[in-house]
Amino acid sequence: MLKKKTKIVDKIINNVACPFCGLLCDDLVIQNKKETLKILKNHCPKAISGFEKQVPESFPKIAGKKSTLEDAIDKIFLVLKKSNSPLITGLGTDVNGMRAVMHLADKTGAVLDHMHGDALTRNTLVLQDLGWIMTTMSEIKNRADLIIFAGTDATKYQRFYERVIWNKQSMFTRQKNKLKLVYIGEKLNAKLGISPTGKKPNILNCKTEEIGEIISSLHAIITGAKIDVDNVAGIKTKKLEVLAEQMKSAKYGVIIWSPADLDMPHAELTIQSFCEVVKYLTRITRFAGFSLGGDDGSTTSSNVCAWQSGYPLRVNFNKGYPDYSPHHYSTYNVLKNKEVDALMWISSFSAAIKPPRASIPSIILAKPDIKLNFNPDVFIPIATPGVDHSGQLFRTDSVVSLPL
């Protein structure tokens, strides 16, 4: 993971993919002047921070004391050799990093989880139980004429509106003035949903826990059922009937959610309601789901785990074969239940999310600028794929893996 930088001096590089959120915008123009990077075009604050922030000099450490890389690796070897059941988590890495993690997990009998494992699991459970019909960023920007934001306003994904909703160019003559946007949920910021001509989106305010009920009611209305109440979760039934009609008459409708924003018990049931109404609507028209996420290599690590082990994340290799259990093998659970005896945390894209503090030997492979409030047994500062060395990541829609 810690690779020597390739020296490129004073160069402008076009079409750079940005690894700092799941959108993987691949249109950045970056100047590399004596190894100092500057984004010249197409960026957001997160990308600027990721590419341009000067990283402090940092060294491997053993128990808080500076060491050589070789000694730090030897120490990791000893910790893992002694461990009967290590946990490798965080998993903020790219395809090659995750391939290496899989190999290590297989050798050491480790449990694997991602720092965004809760959000990943909400989606995976739906995909496994009932399947889904999903679309891509390209399809949305080229075809969608009705977009429903369910429980998310997508503002965490700072260039989503620029690239996918109000994109200047599109194929198939998508007419932006005909695009209808709907927001369903709590405290959603719909300002970015106002069209360039000033058309406001339709907002249905409800609690996050009630979104599933509203979508299921829309599903019922679309199938021809009568809703025998005046309102559902505070939304007038008449309003829902109008929206149901719009969903049926859309040429290409999309429901967008972000599993991280549906942070509540059994959120998978809410996501299931999105996927089931989408499936029904495809009898009448084109409709699809779209999940916003994939940050810190989460789509990537789950995909690599799935193609190598047959299961997506939250897998335990301790029995000599991959044992998949998305609830049991969460980082929180295995630490709380003392089911693991060593912790390895990997995070190469962001220093913001901190590793869990556990009373077992801890190995931290993280960005040099991470601020830890404890001294792990071993710390090794690591490079960021796409900035310090080449790499590959999966985008949030999981259909494209982009070279970094």
User: Which residues lie near ligand SF4 (CB under 6 A)?
Assistant: 18, 20-21, 23-25, 43-44, 46-47, 157-159
Q: Tell me the closest approach of the beta carbon of residue 46 to ligand SF4, in angstroms.
A: 4
Largest CA distance in the chain: 71
The span from the CA of 23 to the CA of 1, in Å, is: 23
| Closer to ligand SF4 by Cβ: residue 49 or 282 | 49
How many CB atoms within 10 Å of residue 141? 17
Would you give the DSSP letter of residue 155?
Answer: T
Both tokens of 68, joined, read: 């050589």
| Closer to ligand SF4 by Cβ: residue 21 or 204 | 21
Residue 345 forms beta bridges with which residues?
89, 364
Q: Nearest to residue 143, comparing CAs of 170, 103, 104?
A: 170
Q: Tell me the closest approach of the beta carbon of residue 15 to ligand SF4, in angstroms.
A: 13
| Closer to ligand SF4 by Cβ: residue 22 or 60 | 22
Q: Nearest to residue 301, comparing CAs of 312, 291, 289?
A: 312
Question: Please, how many CA atoms are within 13 Å of residue 317, restricted to the half-sphere of its CB?
Answer: 21
| Closer to ligand SF4 by Cβ: residue 167 or 237 | 167
- Helix/strand number for the chain, H first, E second: 11, 21
Q: Tell me the closest approach of the beta carbon of residue 381 to ligand SF4, in angstroms.
A: 22
| Closer to ligand SF4 by Cβ: residue 159 or 354 | 159
Relative to beta strand 231-232, strand 111-112 is unpaired
Question: Please, how many CA atoms are within 13 Å of residue 267, restricted to the half-sphere of its CB?
Answer: 19
The span from the CA of 150 to the CA of 128, in Å, is: 21
Q: Tell me the closest approach of the beta carbon of residue 216 to ligand SF4, in angstroms.
A: 32
Q: Tell me the closest approach of the beta carbon of residue 49 to ligand SF4, in angstroms.
A: 9
Q: Nearest to residue 95, comparing CAs of 308, 258, 292?
A: 308
The span from the CA of 37 to the CA of 12, in Å, is: 10
| Closer to ligand SF4 by Cβ: residue 76 or 260 | 260
Q: Tell me the closest approach of the beta carbon of residue 259 to ligand SF4, in angstroms.
A: 17
8 A C-beta contact, residue 324 and residue 342: no
Q: Tell me the closest approach of the beta carbon of residue 21 to ligand SF4, in angstroms.
A: 3
How many CB atoms within 10 Å of residue 221? 22
* 364: phi then psi, degrees, rounded to nearest 5: -120, 120
| Closer to ligand SF4 by Cβ: residue 44 or 278 | 44
| Closer to ligand SF4 by Cβ: residue 20 or 324 | 20
Q: Tell me the closest approach of the beta carbon of residue 342 to ligand SF4, in angstroms.
A: 33
